Amino acid sequence: MNEFELIKNFCSHQTVHRTDVIIETGDDCAIVEVPVNQQLAITTDTLVAGVHFPLNTSAYDIGYKALAVNLSDLAAMGATPAWITMALTLPEIQENWLTDFAHGFFALATRSNVQLIGGDLTHGPLTITIQAQGFIPKGQAITRSGAKVGDLIYVTHTLGDAGLALAVLQNQIKIPTLYEEDILKRLNRPEPRLEVGEKLRQIANAAIDISDGLTGDLNHILKKSEVGAVIYVDELPLSEALRTCLPEEKAILLALGAGDDYELCFTIPKEREKLLQDAMKDCPCAYSCIGEVIATPGLSLQFKDGRKYHGDIKGYQHF
């Protein structure tokens, strides 16, 4: 099977065909129609085998996650996803692997109503680069630079589960079998919080998705907004698996610094708490208040009773 046959076979798994796509795969460029009074949001991420996912990760999970991490960026800014392009580098042609990869990729694409409109296929070490595009009503994008002193800081769902899964895969820890499937899913198939992101428009002052660890990613908001924050570590949302399998200190450490959770961290003014509650009442995603924005620069980690937290938080570093 040559390059063009591979591409045709891969795209045959796609079920989403949006009416705003004028020209899709098969031409030198794709052409799309941006809705009236909407602004275009564009993001890109690269996943490298052995760096961003273990080498023995299933092709289905790689396909799913490659798309999920990009959609998560759109969610953090309140964007509605629409189109994606992909550059796929393969060490060799394995039709079964590529079929499983496509199934994972398009399972999430279908659920998120996004269409693959172009890309590139080449030979080399396994690498997946995806560019995702979406749209936001004019003036409603949620950025990292909008946090204000007095804002409450929230996160979605639970934190640290992906870090626990990675520790399991690296044989650093054993956990009861009943938790394994859910924990590994948190690492391999993160849920982009697209619905939450859309609901946060005109409610949140700032937001970011948690890819490199809560403390590292929250610091991006603090620096961009020129503010500081207090995080109460005993308010961090921890899953039953994390609370059961690890001592409190280690569980908190993973929640603060492990990364790969792809949950949203966002800030809102205190007077918008009711707006947030009303917006989220029909949303299945849980959310928790974990701290507040302060004027003093930097990030202070402490317990609700005032004790300082002194854990050694690494966070993910690309280099």
Of 314 and 71, the one with more pLDDT: 71
Residues sharing a CB contact under 8 Å with residue 267, sequence separation 6 or more, in sequence order = 146, 147, 148, 151, 152, 153, 154, 204, 205, 206, 207, 221, 293
DSSP conformation class of 214? H
pTM: 0.94
Given a cut of 70, whether residue 171 has pLDDT beyond it is yes
Under a CB-based contact definition with an 8 Å cutoff, are residues 100 and 46 in contact? no
**pLDDT tens figures, 240-295:** 999 999 999 999 999 999 989 999 999 999 999 999 999 999 999 999 999 999 99
* Rounded CA separation 123/115 (Å): 24
Residue recorded with tokens 């966002």 = 266
Q: What pLDDT, on a 0 to 100 scale, did the predictor assign at position 319?
A: 45
3-137 and 152-302, same CATH topology: no
Q: What pLDDT, on a 0 to 100 scale, did the predictor assign at position 226?
A: 98
- Give the closest residue to 107 by CA, choosing from 57, 136, 133, 71: 71
Share of the chain above pLDDT 90, in %: 86
**pLDDT tens figures, 115-162:** 999 999 999 999 999 999 999 999 999 999 999 999 999 999 999 999
Under a CB-based contact definition with an 8 Å cutoff, are residues 109 and 10 in contact? no
**pLDDT tens figures, 177-225:** 999 999 999 999 999 999 999 999 999 999 999 999 999 999 999 999 9
Q: What pLDDT, on a 0 to 100 scale, did the predictor assign at position 318?
A: 54
* Rounded CA separation 109/118 (Å): 14
| Number of alpha carbons in the 13 Å side-chain half-sphere of residue 21 | 22
**Averaged pLDDT, 163-185:** 95
Provide the residue ranges of all domains of the chain, joining segments of one domain with +.
Answer: 3-137, 152-302
The domain over range 3-137 is classified in CATH as 3.30.1330.10 = yes
**pLDDT tens figures, 83-114:** 999 999 999 988 899 999 999 999 999 999 99
Given a cut of 70, whether residue 314 has pLDDT beyond it is no
* Rounded CA separation 173/261 (Å): 19
Under a CB-based contact definition with an 8 Å cutoff, are residues 233 and 252 in contact? yes
**pLDDT tens figures, 131-141:** 999 999 999 99
Print burial letters for 63-86: b (CB count within 10 Å at least 16), e (below 16): bbbbbbbbbbbbbbbbbbbbbbbb
Model confidence band, residue 232 (pLDDT cutoffs 50, 70, 90): very high
- Give the closest residue to 106 by CA, choosing from 145, 143, 63, 147: 63
Q: Which fold has domain 152-302?
A: Phosphoribosyl-aminoimidazole Synthetase; Chain A, domain 2 (3.90.650)
Q: Which amino acid is at 77?
A: M
**pLDDT tens figures, 10-59:** 888 899 999 999 998 878 899 999 999 999 999 999 999 988 898 899 99
